[in-house]
Amino acid sequence: PAMLGILGGGQLGRMFATAAKTMGYRVTVLDPDQNAPAADFADVHIAKPYTDPDALAELARTCAAITTEFENVNADSMRWLAAQGVPVSPSGDCVAIAQDRVAEKTFIRNAGLATAPFLAINNAGDLNGDLSAYLPGILKTARLGYDGKGQVRVKTAEEARLALSDLKHQPCVLEKMMPLVAEVSAIVARTSKTEIACFPVAENQHVGGILDVSIVPARVEAAIAERARQMAMQLAEKLNYVGVLAVEFFVLEGDELVINEMAPRPHNSGHYTLDATLTSQFEQQVRTMCHLYPGKTDLLRPAVMVNLLGDVWGEHGAEPRWDVLLTAPNTKLHLYGKKDARAGRKMGHFNVLAASADAALEQAEAIKDTLR
């Protein structure tokens, strides 16, 4: 069977490996961490840095196709792999855009799609002009932010200057704080033959900057959800994207939709597809990288996904009370095999399927309350 390579061995790599092996492929994972969640799910684990020349050469030599689960992998490494003649999806160019908030938001704008008002900040001088279009706002590092890290909320230009200094004068964007009615996401799968499919839109609720629950279908008007899907597919087309692309949106008053950001990989808000659609987002990743067709994306049942952070574990990593979750008939537990349950660390998730999104949410919250 063909060997598929993946850059990154976190939980997304682990779920990718499961999907790939279900489809009869073998999997090589590159991740420097000896205990990476995907390591024991891989046929081969290369425990070297993402830029290690020997590691990249081994991937190029042994893999029929290569993808990534980690957007901060070196884009030049991906370009080098592609130059060796191995299909690499998404492309290093698309990953490079998604790695940098300035490049990302500029691309989205140029594609004719809406973002929040933003200003690129390369140095303190960029904060000297009239900032009224961006305040109150959020100063976000252009690179390497996730789960709300590297973000400071600022009300005045003075606060923005202090925040920039707190962020060590890294390149940033200053983005206007938007009045959110809801947050939603859409996950697209697009092949090199330009076939495209989009999963149903998820409604996402965050706690402390980290995704807490995803509710599907999103409880927004059908026309808004459809517009989010169309915008996500349009963005994938403009990027000439191959692979799985996740697009996060803000829903504003007056049915306005703006794109917040994209991820060049499966996304936490798409974990419901493991149980509520016939094809999961990880299977779409396998299909798209192998130049196969995208699978069916229709929702079999309304679903709610709840993230399980380390906070749910007790002192010294004591296990949550799984009994209620495991005896609920329409609930499925997914754990990532991580050893230390630190606060804020994504340890797993569970999906609840029900007759309606509201019913699934009610049950999911009741279960979550019993875990501690």
Q: Which residues bind ligand ATP (CB under 6 A)?
A: 116, 138, 140, 145-149, 175-178, 180, 183, 206, 209, 248, 260-261
Q: Which does 116 bind (CB under 5 to 8 A by kind): Mg ion, ligand ATP, none?
A: ligand ATP
The amino acid at residue 172 is C
CA 338, distance to chain mean position in Å, is 19
Q: How many CB atoms lie within 10 A of CB 120?
A: 16
Q: Least Å distance between CB 288 and ligand ATP?
A: 21
Contact letters (x/-) for Mg ion, 199-238, by CB under 5 A? ----------------------------------------
334 is in an annotated binding site: no
Q: Which is nearer to ligand ATP, 266 or 295 (CB)?
A: 266
Q: Least Å distance between CB 192 and ligand ATP?
A: 26
Contact letters (x/-) for Mg ion, 316-345, by CB under 5 A? ------------------------------
Q: Which is nearer to ligand ATP, 89 or 99 (CB)?
A: 99
Q: Least Å distance between CB 211 and ligand ATP?
A: 7
Q: Least Å distance between CB 137 and ligand ATP?
A: 7
Q: Which is nearer to ligand ATP, 146 or 293 (CB)?
A: 146
323 is in an annotated binding site: no
Q: Least Å distance between CB 268 and Mg ion?
A: 9
147 is in an annotated binding site: yes
Q: Which is nearer to ligand ATP, 126 or 261 (CB)?
A: 261
Q: Which does 178 bind (CB under 5 to 8 A by kind): Mg ion, ligand ATP, none?
A: ligand ATP
Q: Which is nearer to Mg ion, 206 or 291 (CB)?
A: 206
For residue 63, give Cα distances in angstroms to 58, 87, 294: 8, 9, 21
Q: Least Å distance between CB 249 and Mg ion?
A: 10
Q: Least Å distance between CB 125 and ligand ATP?
A: 23
250-269 residues near Mg ion, rule: CB under 5 A: 261
Q: Which is nearer to ligand ATP, 264 or 302 (CB)?
A: 264
221 is in an annotated binding site: no
Q: Least Å distance between CB 248 and ligand ATP?
A: 6
183 is in an annotated binding site: yes
Q: Which is nearer to ligand ATP, 61 or 153 (CB)?
A: 153
> Would you say how long the chain is, in residues?
372
HEC letters along the chain: CCEEEEECCCHHHHHHHHHHHHCCCEEEEECCCCCCCCHHHCCEEECCCCCCHHHHHHHHHHCCEEEECCCCCCHHHHHHHHHCCCCECCCHHHHHHHHCHHHHHHHHHHCCCCECCEEEECCHHHHCCCCHHHCCEEEEECCCCCCCCCEEEECCHHHHHHHHHHCCCCCEEEEECCCEEEEEEEEEEECCCCCEEECCCEEEEEECCEEEEEEECCCCCHHHHHHHHHHHHHHHHHCCCCEEEEEEEEEEHHHEEEEEEEECCCCHHHCCHHHHECCCHHHHHHHHHCCCCCCCCCECCCEEEEEEEHHHCCHHHCCCCCHHHHHCCCEEEEECCCCCCCCCCEEEEEEEECCCHHHHHHHHHHHHHHCC
Q: Which is nearer to ligand ATP, 308 or 325 (CB)?
A: 308
Distance CA 338, CA 36 (A): 8
| Token output for 354 | 């029900």
**Strand 3-7 to strand 26-30: parallel, antiparallel, or no bridges (unpaired)?**
parallel
101 is in an annotated binding site: yes
8 is in an annotated binding site: no
The closest of 16, 105, 77 to 283, measured between CA atoms, is: 16
260 is in an annotated binding site: yes
Q: Which does 136 bind (CB under 5 to 8 A by kind): ligand ATP, Mg ion, none?
A: none
Question: Which residues are annotated binding-site positions for ATP?
Answer: 101, 140, 145-151, 183, 206, 260-261
Contacts with Mg ion, residue ranges (CB under 5 A)? 248, 261
